[in-house]
A and B are shown apart, each in its own frame.
Chain A
Amino acid sequence: MTGAMFVQHALNGLTLGSLYALIAIGYTMVYGILRLINFAHSEIFMLGAYFVLWGITLLYLPWFVAIVGAILITAAIGILVDRVAYRPLRDAPRISALISAIGVSFFLQNLTIVAFGAIPREVYRPAWLENPILMGEVRVLPLTLFVPALSFLLMLGLVWIVYRTKPGLGMRAISKDIETSYIMGVPVNRIISLTFGIGSALAAASGIMWALRYPQLQPVMGSIPGFKAFIAAVFGGIGSIPGAVVGGIMLGVIEIMAVAFFPDLAGYRDAFAFILLIVILLIKPTGLMGARLEDKV
């Protein structure tokens, strides 16, 4: 493997990792405040891409409008899912909410099949993204540089919201202690909705960029990336936003590098993540950056 190839692979890994990281943030934020694995998050990712397709092909919107619109609508759907399927189960045993999430996930997936058909659809790719750039010996698609850059900006925006605004403070309070947050007058339901909205918006952005990178849309496209992003969130420390970012990027890089160095293992590409999940849960379930949660006897 030449140095140039290595850099190329590394950049690809960074791109893939950024996409995972954006999805992982949504999982980790929801788990942090509700202790719920939002199974339906992978479908939110998928819907972001589909709404852009819909906007462009059915409504003839300019691509920029379609993208912004898609992100907003997807965020709204994320909030709606919480209101309808999760909020009524706040006081129920945790597994009930998880089963509800599984139901929503299948519902959204199959609703998309009904609406758009199960056959993969091609997505419009603007020409300027197609032409590879040459940097020394390294050939990269502009997209490979664009994705990490944009993801970085989005994550900066998120960090600003979580650490510099009042709702962000509320989010951090709720993830520490939801009961006390209620008592202290934090508008818990509204902040939870905001969390779902932000997480869904980031996942939608990831879905749109994913569709530009791998331009085939199908209703099941969210399942595997979504699961892998969840694993990345656990790896980095579920409940920790920096953990989700680190986990996502590392997972993307490992995935690309492992197949680059050991091409024979390409068939097992998906299994890496699942094995990583099991290993993490057994060795250090709190992940790289997570904190311990004690059980009272």
Chain B
Amino acid sequence: MASDAVLETQGLTMRFGGLTAVKNFSAAIPRGSIVGLIGPNGAGKTTCFNMITGFYKPSEGQVLFNGADITGTPPHRVCRSGIARTFQNIRLFGNETVLENVMIGCHLRQKTGWWQAVLCLPSNRREERAIAERSRELLKVVGLQELAGEQANSLPYGAQRRLEIARALATRPAFLLLDEPAAGMNPNETQELMGFIREIRRSFDLTILLIEHDMKVVMGICEHIWVLDYGEMIAAGPPEAIQSDPKVIKAYLGEEALTHA
């Protein structure tokens, strides 16, 4: 076990009525690493994300973030403590502009509130200007600065994904969860994405956990990988070990994804 684990799960189990979606998921994620959670569809990967980020209360087990127990903490408080995420089916604030989406992400760390805004206090004016500035910077990081004034749901799919990441970064996370960031991308885009993920890890001082189906991405940037099948962890280790693990190959049998690796 890594001695400096930014996030640790112990025996996480999720039951919905009679169905056990995740059973006994234990993992320790080293600080500053990029790691992956893979498995066939329906294996329980997003359920794990939901347990870590507080959307589901685990039936059993614990989630420790920087040593503190955050099991069952509501989602907004989980984010406040430094964990941000994106969603498998993109969840943008569709009616707002691209810039506003990121500004909403900045709200968490905002000091002045609604009544300072209503009273037009200079402290609020200054802070909102700074937030707009910072949001534009983040848009530059993901390459969307030209589209700042566009409505979020008018963006093409790939741009929407990047906007979701910018919004997540706006909350100043220490730990970032990306749910299928490469979905729908062509080989060029996935190359760019891999470089991008490495870059934000460096410049924002992050630890990153991703769910991904694209094996090129997973094997390319993940330092450690956990494999789920039917809710149970069937393998864990560095990419080379996972690639040749017979259990993993068996779980993916029938999916051409593995032939890319």
Contact = CB atoms under 8 A, between A and B. Distances in A.
Q: Do chains A and B touch in the complex (CB under 8 A)?
A: yes
A283 interface: no
A297 B56 CA distance: 9
Contacts of A297: 46, 50, 55-56
Interface in B1-24: 16
Contacts of B56: 297
A292 to B, nearest CB: 9
Interface in A276-297: 294, 297
Nearest to B46: A297
Interface residues on A, range: under 10
B22 to A, nearest CB: 14
Nearest to A297: B55
Contacts of B46: 297
Interface residues of B, number: 5
A294 B55 CA distance: 13
A297 B46 CA distance: 9
A210 B167 CA distance: 58
A294 B50 CA distance: 14
Contacts of A294: 16
B75 to A, nearest CB: 9
A27 B56 CA distance: 32
B93 to A, nearest CB: 16
Contacts of B16: 294
A297 B50 CA distance: 8
B212 to A, nearest CB: 19
A178 to B, nearest CB: 20
Interface string B50-78: 10000110000000000000000000000
A95 to B, nearest CB: 15
Nearest to A296: B89
Nearest to B87: A297
B84 to A, nearest CB: 15
Nearest to B53: A297
Closest 3 CB pairs of A and B: A297-B55, A297-B50, A294-B16
5 contacts: A294-B16, A297-B46, A297-B50, A297-B55, A297-B56
